[in-house]
Amino acid sequence: MPSLHRILITSDLTKAGFQSIANLAAGRLEAIVQLENLMGGLAGGNRQALLGCSIGAIQATGTLTQTSTGAANDETMTIAGVTFTAKTSGATGNQFNRNDSVTISATNLAAAINDSADVNIYVSASSAAGVVTFTALQPGVLGNLILLTESMANTTVSAAALASGSEGTVTSLDLR
């Protein structure tokens, strides 16, 4: 995985002002062009800001481990406030097909999480041998606040929340 960098701009802009300049509702290319314009304004002295760059920030992670036959029908787990329900078959939405093979069941749960617009903006999930690993998309300590619970047979979570997210080394540049 490539190294992640986070840039934090502290400015005199309001949230609405920043969104207007950055046009975050636009498509990705348009948003990048608008952010480039914002950065040009900062560099040219048209705007004042404190620019901070977090180098080497680490994403928080957590795991859910299924053993034996894994979850039973209608048992649940929750991540970031979104509940996923085990189903014997025909899973839709925030459901996953449980299976007596914990490898298959974990793969199905990870896929359901990655496909869920309710949670895939916060975390991604992968699986191997009955273990689902959750990774916060945003590097830093905020990922440590993503709650993780389960109420499924033969299943445990690593902790009540994702953990080990850190800010890395923050370097600041005063553009005032």
Question: Measuring CA to CA, how many Å separate 128 from each of 80, 102, 152?
Answer: 21, 9, 18
Answer whether residue 1 shows pLDDT above 50. Answer: no
Cα–chain center distance at 166: 14
Mean pLDDT over the full length of the chain: 83
Q: Token pair of 161, please? A: 């929340």
- Exposure of 175 by Cβ count < 10 A (0-12 exposed, 13-18 middle, 19+ buried)? middle
Query: Do residues 150 and 156 lie in contact, with contact meaning Cβ atoms separated by under 8 Å?
Result: yes
50-59 pLDDT, tens per residue?
666 677 889 9
Q: Is 21 left (phi over 0), alpha (psi -120 to 50) or beta?
A: alpha
Mean pLDDT over 89-94 rounds to 96
| Stated pTM of the model | 0.73
Between strands 49-55 and 5-11, the pairing is antiparallel
With cut-offs at 50, 70 and 90, classify the pLDDT of residue 69: confident
Q: State the Cα–Cα distance between residues 60 and 7, nearest whole angstrom.
A: 18
